[in-house]
Copies of this chain bind each other. A is one copy, B any other.
Amino acid sequence: KQKQQIDIQQLAGEVREAKRTSLSKAITLIESSNPEHKIMAQQLLQELLPYTGNSVRIGITGVPGAGKSTFIEAFGTMLCNMGKRVAVLAIDPSSSISGGSVLGDKTRMENLSRHENAFVRPSPSAGTLGGVHKKTRETMLLCEAAGYDVILIETVGVGQSETYVRGMVDFFLLLVLTGAGDELQGMKKGIMELADGIVVHKADGDNVEKAKNTVREYRKILHFLQPSTPGWESQALAVSSYEKTGLKEVWEMILSFEKQMKESGYWYTRRREQTSDWFYSMIHDHLIDSFFGKKENKELVKQLEEEILQGKLTVTQGIHQLFPDFG
């Protein structure tokens, strides 16, 4: 197998010129588990850091069946036609753009994928949640360096990745259907409090009246919840991706959010906090993984846990057996 030499300076230049194949190559480098590639990937990213940060980062979530891929296709295409450059990423292997649809339709985001202003990239398929979330963040930075104005990050809304996505985007959008109460049963606890905006989707045909009622209900509930972004009152809107209604309103909502948050300065504060939190959470994860990565630690913890659950040992005594210096 021929070893390919990668010129980082050149690749960085090509990414900045928004060459699609070079961006794809750069993302593959970020996703590689090869130790040499990893080092090069970080050199590339370091090179490109000064050119990152200039997009609107939007997280999109919703239960399976909420129509995420249809929404992203319609919303993304509208933005592309407005002259925006749009990158679509996914964080979970089961997300619609990664091929997790039960319908298995191959036409998903076909129009958007072919649009010259769009770049659609499925999620890294392997790795731990922490690892995938790191790769998605870094891919987002590469897309920004390539000049994409809007980054859409899709997540499935039933697992743990919503919190990660909330931690890497400016605006978080939740897609729901009419008949809110029942459908939310399948959603993650606290998901509504992560959302800056709620889209009541499939507001078309016979469903229009129902959707309007659902929007009213969500507005009431949002009033009772803590806002996801301090100083922003989370909004609910009815959207039909099929009839192309409400899409413009979603974008106007996001623009108004951006304007308000940039004026208050919270836009920049949150970005800094997100980067710091990312760094600290990687430190925490590494410390915990290193400890439990040692077989003898893992086994001792398991054994002590058993004794604690059997009432033979107090929790504090268990900690003392693990860490004799524990104060």
Contact = CB atoms under 8 A, between A and B. Distances in A.
Interface of A: 42, 45-46, 49-50, 52, 134, 137-138, 180-181, 184-185, 187-190, 192-193, 217, 220-221, 223-226, 272, 275-276, 278-280, 282-284, 286-288, 290-291, 301, 304-305, 308-309, 311-320, 322-323, 326
A184 B189 CA distance: 18
B315 A275 contact: yes
A319 B286 contact: yes
A276 B302 CA distance: 10
Contacts of A282: 315-316, 319
Contact of A316 (B134, B184, B319): B134
Given A279-B304, A288-B287, A309-B276, A42 B314 contact: yes
11 contacts: A42-B320, A49-B311, A137-B315, A188-B226, A192-B224, A192-B225, A221-B221, A275-B315, A279-B315, A286-B326, A287-B291
Contacts of A224: 180-181, 184, 192, 217, 221
Nearest 4 pairs between A and B by C-beta?
A: A189-B226, A49-B311, A287-B287, A190-B190
Given A187-B226, A189-B226, A278-B315, A283 B301 contact: yes
B190 A322 contact: no
